Structure 1
Amino acid sequence: MTTERKKIGFLSFGHWADERGSGVRTASDVLLQSIELSVAAEQLGIDGAYFRVHHYARQLASPFPLMAAIGARTSTIEIGTGVIDMRYENPLYMVEDAGAADLISGGRLQLGISRGSPEQVIDGWRYFGYQPAEGESPADMARRHAEVFLQQLEGRGFAQPNPNPMFPNPPGLLRLEPHSEGLRDRIWWGAASDATAIWAAEMGMNLQSSTLKTDESGEPFHIQQAKQIRAFREAWQKAGHSRKPRVSVSRSIFALTDDRDRAYFGRGGKDSDQVGVIDETRSVFGRSYADEPDRLIEQLREDEAIAEADTLLLTIPNMLGVDYNTHVLESILTHVAPAMGWR
């Protein structure tokens, strides 16, 4: 269990909808508000701005222009994803995009990648020009893309140079440019199962564990997730990596401190886990939290996985706008984090 100061970030799904009550009606709205919220969060002392990536949906999709823009407007906040679906990615082009965005931000990218979740389109990655190799599953393809991405982030030359180049080349094989030193250590894998968490550790990636997990024991979600984190750290140690890994968990947590909070979330959070089936796999979905600060703190102290993680990502209702979400984050920092020992 970690006893260090906990990093606290927000995780936005980046929804927009032109409907009553929405403060985010267009793609332009969600992009610009994501930048503004990141600036406001940094001013509050929030440690990270993270964004989901979904295709074919009215949600954030291509993350690198957004992260570069946030990087240009901020100076300290971490900027990340949770997660990029590697079934859809050209890993070499992604190295170039990631390197450029990381350099613009001064080395603050924290990229969560994974096999992704069910999308709006059946096998949507096929329209992007990708398909599993013979004998591969889509998840296998995602891991293959991830392995190429990780290898190329190391910055070693691999491409034979043209003997008559337009511009002078450095000696030897050429690498992808721009290269951002240290980015390889800031890649996270979004793991739903214990096995993929162990694989992530063996590959030298940090761990992102979300609000759902493959149900592998029938135990409460937070207990299964805490066990997954411990298995990840044990595998990391066995792999002999020199650095210390990071682990994040995501939660919906709302401190009810004013009439707006009570109007939106006054019915409380989901007091118990939910069970569902994703891709024919039984999964357990963690509860959400919404209560007066004193009671909220008592509930959060029982969450074993939050205690195990060094980073907590707060999922936010982004369609309620920048001002309200700034208030949500400030309420956690003011009324919850100190009592929990996170600050």
Structure 2
Amino acid sequence: MHRSGAVMAWNVFKFCTALRGLGSIMILLVLAIIGVTYYAVVLCNYGPALLSAISGSATTTTGAVGPITALFLLLLFHALLAMLLWSYFSVVLTDPGTVPPNWRPPSPMDEERGETSPLTGPEFASQPLQPGPLNGTASPRVRYCRKCNQLKPPRCHHCSVCGRCILKMDHHCVWVVNCVGALNYKYFLLFLFYTFLETTLVTLSLLPNFIAFFSDVEIPGTPGTLATTFLTFVLNLAFALSVLGFLIMHISLVSGNTTTIEASAYEKKTSPRWKYDLGRKRNFAQVFGTDKKYWFIPAYSDEDLRRMPALQGLDYPVRPDAGMQEV
């Protein structure tokens, strides 16, 4: 039994190491998919369609597309692409949030090391005893990470891939080569949102080409450009459908003020309502902020960051009637 556990631990370690090694490869893969899509939409189809419509020459594979339609599609495509890339690199480059050195909870709590072992008196003696500014009820335990050898704030979890504790960790995403946590969760949701809009636009704009592949209509263009257009349509259709599923799932998580990890941990619990669920409006504000001008861009206003400590991942308000739940 001991040998089996050792083999499992070794396999998990090798798996986490492999995920860390995917870093630049996944970023390059994302950029390659974007590049192929750009080539198919702009350079092979709607760019030439706009030029041919203006010059009055023969139509391209997009059919008789007017200059206004082609221009509108190209402008919308580039606008969505800019927001997609901005959101993507915001997720990649933003630290999801880690526990500050020597962090101590802002209110008195019972002790816990991991799940069962309590902290010793000296380990716990130095923490302040004043109540936290946002907590409606005190958290029942101080959680301790054995791997990081430090206390963990509420909703914080250890990521084996990153090798550290992440504030309000949702999951580790190989596509963004980063953990999704308190400080970049909004950026991740915007990345999903703009990816869905962009892939849907590409799918609809290339649909006439896809239909033409299976008809008797003669399609102008080289075999290479036709194959690229076909591949781009299939890729974007697949991404649009899969991202839609993830987007719906995360919208439901935001509306209940929970994360993927927390939802998995509490789906078997009998508690009638999650203690951090403050209502859809306040739950939404904890992720996207209160300033509407910043809702659809991967950034927060200075006022939101100053007034809402929950955005920083260390302190979260709870319902006054909440029980003493803890992840």
TM-score category of the 2 structures, normalised to the smaller one: under 0.3
TM-score by length of 1: 0.23
| Richer in strand (by share) | 1
TM-score by length of 2: 0.24
Larger Rg belongs to: 2
